[in-house]
Structure 1
Amino acid sequence: MNFTPKNYKTIPNKPGIYQFSDETKSLLYVGKAKDLQKRVSSYFKKSSTLLPKTKLMVSQIKTIKTIIVESEIEALLLEAELVNSKQPKYNHQLKDDKSFSFIHFTKEEFPRIYAERMNQILKSERKVSFGPFLSSKIVRLTLDEIRKVFPYRSCNTNRFNKHKVCLYYHLHLCQAPCEDKINFVDYQKEINYLKSFLQRKTKTLALNLKREMQKHSETESFEKAAQIRDQIERLEYLTTKFRLPQEYLQAPNLLEDLRTQVLINLQKVLKLKTLPTRIECYDISNFQGKQATGSMVVFTNAEADKKEYRRFKIKFKDTPDDYFMLYEMLKRRFSRLNDKSHWKLPDLIVIDGGEGQLSKAISIQRLLKLQVPIISLAKKEEEIYMENQPNLLEVSKVNFHKIKLSKKSKELQLLQQIRDEAHRFAITYHRKLREMKLKKEFDL
């Protein structure tokens, strides 16, 4: 997304990368932020105490480009990629060489792995290096994650020659070659796997691990096969948790595209007529019918749209009756469609529960003559319940079918997130009302 110094306040409050360019479109500076809006705003505040070099840079800014990412570590990786490839003028003026770091593998029989700054590269023993990274923080984050998948030695030669295992072995973060608990061939294999990960050859790496696991299973080395299975699972978690910088560079709107794809897939799975860009979920919270509250949460384009959230204080029922409470909430919610409050019609309604809850919701839907698809999500098995063929004429007859999605499915994860958010929002309001009532009684 592109902005200017005049409209920087419209930059979203999300993690990502910002790039400053001058009037000739030359890149001045690349930075990362947990909150892009706050970080970029800090450059343009009149009261800001900027250094002379930074003030000069700000005076040259004509355009601001942002790339939204999913996490801080992705912002760190993308920042490193852009600075290394584009060499922005002010990144090198505001940082000296010693701030750049590398990941090193020593050329010993059992290589140790460690981080080192740029100004130390020509010192000490021969090594294989990966980098540079802009900060030691990204090196620590990367190594901490990798070590959980591929344990490695990090001790110096003196410590290694004592031939005594250290704490890292007991934490399963080192395989203790110092005490011959792993042989040379197996250790080198693990190191090569680790290098493949740093070289971003993750698909080939996963394939090799699966082949090795299969080989051990066939020879009935089940303990070793189980260890490799755990490695594969951790590797899958690691590679789905973080995205490569190149993905964002090739597709600056990557997150938006990914969310849209999830909605497209959800539309196919549920056989919806329209893309579910607006999904609403409702939940009831009460204690034996008292201080009953209802919540409505809204996800627009697969993101929580908190300005659209609504709370309902149940007015006409003070005994446990979730059906009546849900009816009251839905009736009040959908009575707002034609007034001036501009409450939009959802593309999909999600209810927490199984067949019973969905049956109640559909009967309410028919009484209110709503033509909005409704599904329910049961917590125990995380199964989706949906009506077979909606027929508004047969009010009393409802038939269902179940949809079982993989727990790794992004579509299921989105529905779970929406359901859990509705529960959180409802119970928070319910607790607030209970506390207010108790306080009032106590004051009396």
Structure 2
Amino acid sequence: MRLEDLPPLPETPGVYLWKAGESVIYVGKAKNLKARVTSYFHSEGKSLRVSQEATHLDFIVLRDEVEALLLEANLIKHHRPHYNVLMKDDKHYPFLKLTREEWPMLMVVRRVQNDGARYWGPFPEASAVRRIKRLVDRFFPLRQNSGFPFKKRRYPCLNHSMGRCLAPCVGKADPEQYRVVVQQVENLLDGKVEALYESLEQQMRAAAQHQDFERAAEIRDQITAVRSFFGTSQQAYDPELGDLDFLGFARAGDYALIQHYQMRGGQMLGRISRFVEGVKEASDAELLEAFLRDYYLEATPLPPLVLLPFELEAQDAFSTFLSSKGRKVEVRIPQRGDKTRLIELAQKNAETALHTELKVLERKGDHPGLKGLMEVLGLSRRPYRIEGYDISNLLGESVVGSITVFEGGRPKKAEYRRIKIKGLQGQPDDFFSMEQTILRRFTGSLAEQMPIPDLILIDGGLGQVRAAQKGLKQAGLDIPLVGLAKREETLVLPDGHTIGLPLSHPALQILIYLRDETHRNGLEFHRKLRNQKTLKSIFDDIPGIGPARKMALLNHFSTLEELRDMSVDELARLPGLDKRSAQAVLKALGAGIPSEGSRA
């Protein structure tokens, strides 16, 4: 579709639908329809593709952005357009439903219907629903076993005998008493615990005045149970925070995760998590708005405060939309105090949960970093096997080439290798060392032992990458190469081009992990060589330590610290050593002569 093919658009709020034939491919809302829709033709990425793929545009003019928000949500839910962010979730979180009948009952349901009943939810965890339902069933005598819709019975059930039901099914319930119980349950579920306490205490005092002490004791137990539920239990976070929702957000390249927490009466009821794939081109704001739109379309009743991790353009519209559902709701970003700590908690948990989800994909052999590398580097297939290379040295001494292997995004430590670099004549030369490491890996014995990798990662910049390319050329191989420059974590290609990725991108994360493993592997071996060289030099000057004893010490210890931590007795137990030679070694190391059985 071309810009000149657009219908005349008004500069008013509304909803627009991009269509390809009869299919809706994208639904959006706008404060200014003309400005928003025409911007698609001057954009890049997904927006431009939508306008190019569309054959025509429909739009609906509305009074304000709030109406646009609601209609957009319903249209997306109905059409499920390809280019909209869809919060796919196979879970139907539970609601509590208070039926609208002469004798209402409380039920756990998974769907909200337009039937006039009152609903509370969705609850993040089924355990939270069970706790509340158990509390109501035990201490608030609503009917439980007479069905929905209400059916009469010949005999009352056991709950009536236990004092847990007023038995309207057999005509025993007083309508006014039942109405009071229903109101108390509504207060409980609305979080109006102070009003509930006041109602229960009035009933308790009235029962005591009429000397109905058994009834007064029952009401006292009700009060105790409610206070226990809303008090300092293991689920409570801070009673002073009251009722609120707060959200955490994390993303990594093509993946994102949003977590929603409910707090009622200062008690954490749990959380809902949504893991979303294929969102590389979606903005953070678009993803968070999609979740808010889906979740709050049905959620009820709403808290007076919803806390977000970052600002949204449609934030005020969301506040107005949520407030239109019954009570005033403020949607904002906390600036200080306990509420900022709630967002920090949500953010940290979202990042942890996203990392866990990516690990699950990794275990399935579908590590997101592999797909990302294929796309970023333009590879013909996913790089299942990646080898990392690094050079470690100290002023040209004990130079080591480190080789590490990742398969399926995970370390394969059994195939880690280290190569001693020779021919440097005391002068450090990382480029020569890298070339030699690559050449020996692909032409020597390792070439027969290890398969050819799909991708090679070089720890370093363009110089190291081209040195590695030179080594590959000598070996007669053409394997995709990429370098990782430490300072900016930039990808470096052999032709000199660089690629910058956000630190959260799975492709960059897997390369950083591999680079760090390669560096650790080489540094560990380099330190061992250096320490052994130092030890060897020290042992040469100790009286009574000949070649055999020197070899025994070198085979057993790799650092001076390990040796100094030995007692004379422990050192004397090593093969070929006795107490006199052990004392000579410790004395030469400046550790003194420790007493028998003591530590050096």
TM-score by length of 2: 0.39
Give me the whole-angstrom Cα distance separating, in 2, the residues matched to 1:434 and 1:212: 51
Shift of 1:258: 2.9
The answer for unaligned runs of 5 or more in structure 1 is 1-101, 112-121, 130-152, 158-172, 388-398
Give me the whole-angstrom Cα distance separating, in 2, the residues matched to 1:187 and 1:212: 14
Give me the whole-angstrom Cα distance separating, in 1, the residues matched to 2:310 and 2:535: 64
Q: Does 2:493 align with 1:386? A: yes
Q: Does 2:431 align with 1:335? A: no
Shift of 1:426: 0.1
Give me the whole-angstrom Cα distance separating, in 2, the residues matched to 1:124 and 1:254: 49
Counterpart of 2:441, as a letter, is: R
Report if the CA contact (8 A) 1:337-1:344 is conserved.
Answer: no
Question: Equivalent of 2:350, from 228, 236, 239?
Answer: 236
Q: Which has the larger radius of gyration?
A: 2
Report if the CA contact (8 A) 1:289-1:320 is conserved.
Answer: yes
Q: 1:220 to 1:303 in 2, by over 3 A?
A: closer
Q: Does 2:363 align with 1:255? A: yes
Question: Equivalent of 1:298, from 385, 405, 424?
Answer: 405
Query: Cα RMSD (Å) of the superposition?
Result: 4.6
Question: Equivalent of 1:405, from 480, 501, 521?
Answer: 501
Give me the whole-angstrom Cα distance separating, in 2, the residues matched to 1:302 and 1:285: 24
Question: Equivalent of 2:527, from 431, 434, 439?
Answer: 431
* Partner in structure 2 of residue 191 of structure 1: 263
Q: 1:125 to 1:428 in 2, by over 3 A?
A: same
Shift of 1:197: 4.6
Report if the CA contact (8 A) 2:435-2:470 is conserved.
Answer: no
* Partner in structure 2 of residue 56 of structure 1: none
Shift of 1:360: 2.4
1:156-167 matches, cutoff 5 A: none
Give me the whole-angstrom Cα distance separating, in 2, the residues matched to 1:270 and 1:332: 26
1:7-406 matches, cutoff 5 A: 125-126=225-226, 155=232, 174-175=237-238, 177=240, 182=241, 184-186=242-244, 191=263, 197-200=270-273, 207-208=291-292, 209-210=307-308, 213-214=311-312, 215=315, 224=335, 227=340, 230=344, 233-243=347-357, 255-259=363-367, 261-317=368-424, 318-336=426-444, 341-387=448-494, 399-406=495-502
Give me the whole-angstrom Cα distance separating, in 1, the residues matched to 2:262 and 2:384: 45
Report if the CA contact (8 A) 2:436-2:471 is conserved.
Answer: no
- Find the residue that maps to 1:237 and give its secondary structure: helix
Shift of 1:361: 2.2
- Find the residue that maps to 1:279 and give its secondary structure: strand
Counterpart of 1:125, as a letter, is: A
- Find the residue that maps to 1:284 and give its secondary structure: strand
Give me the whole-angstrom Cα distance separating, in 2, the residues matched to 1:350 and 1:211: 36
Give me the whole-angstrom Cα distance separating, in 1, the residues matched to 2:355 and 2:391: 33
* Partner in structure 1 of residue 510 of structure 2: 414
Counterpart of 1:358, as a letter, is: V
Shift of 1:220: 12
Q: 1:382 to 1:127 in 2, by over 3 A?
A: farther
Q: 1:412 to 1:124 in 2, by over 3 A?
A: farther
* Partner in structure 2 of residue 161 of structure 1: none
Shift of 1:236: 2.6
- Find the residue that maps to 1:224 and give its secondary structure: coil
- Find the residue that maps to 2:364 and give its secondary structure: helix
TM-score by length of 1: 0.51
Report if the CA contact (8 A) 2:239-2:267 is conserved.
Answer: no
Shift of 1:425: 0.2
Give me the whole-angstrom Cα distance separating, in 2, the residues matched to 1:254 and 1:365: 30
The answer for unaligned runs of 5 or more in structure 2 is 1-126, 136-187, 195-221, 247-260, 277-286, 293-306, 320-329, 541-600
How many positions carry a matched residue from both structures? Answer: 273
Shift of 1:265: 2.7
- Find the residue that maps to 2:441 and give its secondary structure: helix
Give me the whole-angstrom Cα distance separating, in 1, the residues matched to 2:480 and 2:233: 63
